[in-house]
Chain A
Amino acid sequence: MTEVVATNQTILVVGGGISGMTAALEAAETGAQVVLVEKRPYLGGRVSQLYKYFPKLCHPTCGLEINQRRAKMNPNLTIVTGAEVSKLEGEAGDYTATVKLSPTWVNDNCTACGDCAKVVEAEFDDEYNYGMSKRKGAYLPHVMAHPMKYVLDPAIIGTDDAQKAKDACKYDAIDLGDEAQEIQFPVGAVVWATGWKPYDAAKIQPYGYDRFENVITNVEFERMADPKGPTGGKILRPSDSKEAKNVAFIQCAGSRDRNHLYHCSRICCMASLKQTHYVVDAYGDDADVSIYYIDIRTIDRFEDFYTKVQAMDNVKFIKSKVASVTLGENDNPCLNGVDTEGYHRYATEHDLVVLATGMEPSVSVDSFPVDVEINREGFIEPAEKNGGIFAAGCASDALDVNRAVQSATGAALKAIQVVNRVARAEG
């Protein structure tokens, strides 16, 4: 049984991605009691699925490691994974949170030795790699998972595989009798950091994501570039596993489009410029990158990054929202449209097309367990009626990691103010 000790001076952080981790740690390090609830079996969220950050092209693993270390060292922070907030009632300084805990079947005895994964036979699409590879029914979500525990896929429970995993475990870490439970505890303030998900590219019908193998999304491309990813870091065409040297990026795939997402997702321009580096790093002079764009939105110091990519000899910028993707020879996607600089019509084939899909809030408008002000784009607006609930990171707007962390720190500060008020009132 999971026990959560909390009072109405406790801060509840919903979501354990980069924003939630930041808000939880910033608050806990000031001395506040914090409970962090995460739906996935591990912390780090979508940032853990990134290969490199822009603009420094450093590895997110570095920052995650620091945050995980801070989390392990802090006695004020309670982390609950595999958990979802199903209800939140009350008002600022006096909320009751109801949290659903999924059964994990793996307890803290787990040493991540991996013996269970060796004996389990069933395989599933690996969600960590956006389905581009398979994982076992008993698996470590990724090499830096925190908590560092193996996870059993719910689909193997009740099958021979589950028993095999249990029998293989030398540490008695698997308890197949584990059941879902619901817990309730009081909290004073809430930081809502449920983050984003990539827009469903199949909805952009003319781009053929659901029809053409060599049309992929930017999050999939990110996994491909990662040495720990499905291709071992090689940039390959899904159709024939040949090297993809001639790569096209389609910007605003879903974003800034009233038929899809109203907002500019803010990250996709820099993401594509960053991913251009991956192609050029992999293939040098043989790389041939085309970026199809409406306008490139790189603000502040990001402008330098853009200027440097523009100066590369093997990178072309085509000012055009691509009208459609058709199938050319050799499974090459063929991009059709009009280059608005000179009004030239083009039909250009590429080895691989990457859709710079935008971000949408991961919680849909009608499934919030609490009444907060939500804007047309689905993000949480700061409002009086939100009471002691503060949105952080991509729950509040489409943000890059840098701005998400700033937003999370701000939300933590607001939450601290609420619980401090409670503390003063209660003397």
Chain B
Amino acid sequence: MSETNKATIEQYRNSFLSEVEANVEEGEWVKMCMQCGVCSGSCPLGKHWAHPPQEIFMMIRAGKRDEVLASDSMWMCTSCYNCVVRCPRQLPITHIMHGLATYAKKLGLVPQNQPTAKFAEIFWNNMMKKGRVNELKLGLSLYFKDGFGAGIKESLRNKDLGMKMMKAKRMAASEFFGGHGVKDIGGVQKMIQKAQEIEDARMKKFD
């Protein structure tokens, strides 16, 4: 191969696709996309996203790292799996979208005030405290995520529902004070920490 040829190829070899393949869950499938568009067309929330899946895949291949990782698109996925069942190449599209979201979070590139991302964080922190999800606190944290005023308003709007849940013993007010957890929360936290270390060690560096 001539030097000119090599230089030309180099222009098209972008590291972002390699980065996605190495560091994003199911990322190695991205290159299989044939850009038919059936995933974007099948997505029930598609019109609310900046970039539907097949566009995201094209952007990855075009090396648009910042645009992809800062996009809110992968956070909009509701895991309905319509795209997965219709994809003519059987790409695990839902999983790739979640993989991209996880990777963006790891790199700290999540768009500010993205509600799904925020909820995911609240959920994780809530669960990691006791090893179980404290539903009362989870609900309240979600109501108050946009400030005290908005939280009061949202709580009052849902008070009837809350009362009914307490009546039906689906929610207990006592959970507000501490709440119940797993027997060995220290062990759970250690386990998660170890898993995190293993995952971090697997991550490849791309600059």
Binding site for B on A (CB under 8 A): 206, 252, 256-259, 294, 319-324, 336-340, 343, 345
Task: Looking at the assembled complex, report how far the CB atom of A148 sits from the nearest CB atom of chain B, in whole angstroms.
Answer: 44
Q: Is B35 an interface residue (CB 8 A)?
A: yes
Q: Which residues of B contact A259 (CB under 8 A)?
A: 85-86, 88, 90
Least Cβ distance of B92 to chain A in Å?
A: 13
Report 5 cross-chain contacts, Cβ distance below 8 Å, ordered by A residue.
Answer: A324-B41, A337-B38, A338-B37, A338-B46, A338-B54
What residue in chain A is nearest B52 (Cβ atoms)?
A338
Instruction: Give residues 30-61 of B contacting A (CB, 8 Å).
Output: 34-38, 40-42, 46-47, 51-52, 54-55
Cβ–Cβ < 8 Å partners of B51 in chain A: 343
Most chain B C-beta atoms within 10 Å of own C-beta, residue among A258, A259, A321: A321
Q: How far is the CA of A336 from the CA of B55 in the complex (A)?
A: 17
B114 to chain A, nearest CB (A): 21
Q: Chain A residues with Cβ under 8 A from B159's Cβ?
A: none
Nearest 8 Cβ contacts at the A-B interface: A323-B41, A337-B41, A321-B36, A257-B88, A338-B40, A340-B37, A321-B38, A323-B42
| 8 Å CB contact of A256 from B47, B85, B88, B90 | B88
B89 CB within 8 Å of chain A: yes
Main SS class of interface, A: loop
Given contacts A206-B86, A321-B36, contact A336 B41 (CB under 8 A): yes
User: A312 → chain B, closest Cβ, in Å?
Assistant: 24
Q: How far is the CA of A158 from the CA of B185 in the complex (A)?
A: 81
Q: Which residues of B contact A206 (CB under 8 A)?
A: 42, 86
Bits for B81-93, please: 1 = Cβ < 8 Å to A, else 0. 0000110111000
The answer for the CA separation of A339 and B51 in the assembled complex, in Å, is 13
Q: How many residues of B contact A (CB 8 A)?
A: 19
* Cα–Cα, bound, A258→B85 (Å): 10
A184 to B52, CA, bound (A): 61
Bound-state CA distance A339–B35 (Å) is 10
B85 adjacent to A294 (CB under 8 Å): no
Q: Which chain A residues border B55 with CB–CB below 8 Å? A: 340, 343
Assuming the contacts A343-B52, A343-B55, A345-B46, asked whether A338 and B88 have C-beta atoms less than 8 A apart, the reply is no
CA distance A322 to B42 in the complex (A): 9
Residue from A324, A340, A343 in contact with B42 in the complex, judged by beta carbons closer than 8 Å: A324
A258→B41 contact, CB < 8 A: no
Distance between A224 CB and nearest chain B CB, rounded to angstroms: 27
The answer to whether A258 and B88 touch (CB under 8 A), given A320-B41, A336-B41, is: yes
Question: Do residues A343 and B40 form an inter-chain contact, with CB atoms below 8 A?
Answer: yes
A323 to chain B, nearest CB (A): 3
A323 contacts across to B, CB distance below 8 A: 37-38, 40-42, 86
A259 and B51 CA atoms in complex are apart in Å by: 25
A320 touches B85 (CB 8 A): no
Residues on A with C-beta less than 8 A from B86 are 206, 259, 323
**Best-buried of B35, B47, B90 by chain A (most CB within 10 Å):** B35
Further pairs besides A252-B36, A324-B42: 11, Cβ < 8 Å: A256-B88, A257-B88, A258-B88, A321-B36, A321-B88, A337-B37, A337-B41, A338-B46, A339-B37, A340-B37, A343-B55
Query: Which residues of the partner chain A approach B90 to less than 8 Å between Cβ atoms?
Result: 258-259
Considering the chains assembled together, what is the distance between the CA atoms of A135 and B88 in angstroms? 39
Q: Is the CB of A322 within 8 A of B41?
A: yes
Known: A323-B42, A338-B52. A258 touches B37 (CB 8 A): no
CB closest residue in chain A, given B47: A345
Cα A320 to Cα B90 in complex, Å, equals: 17
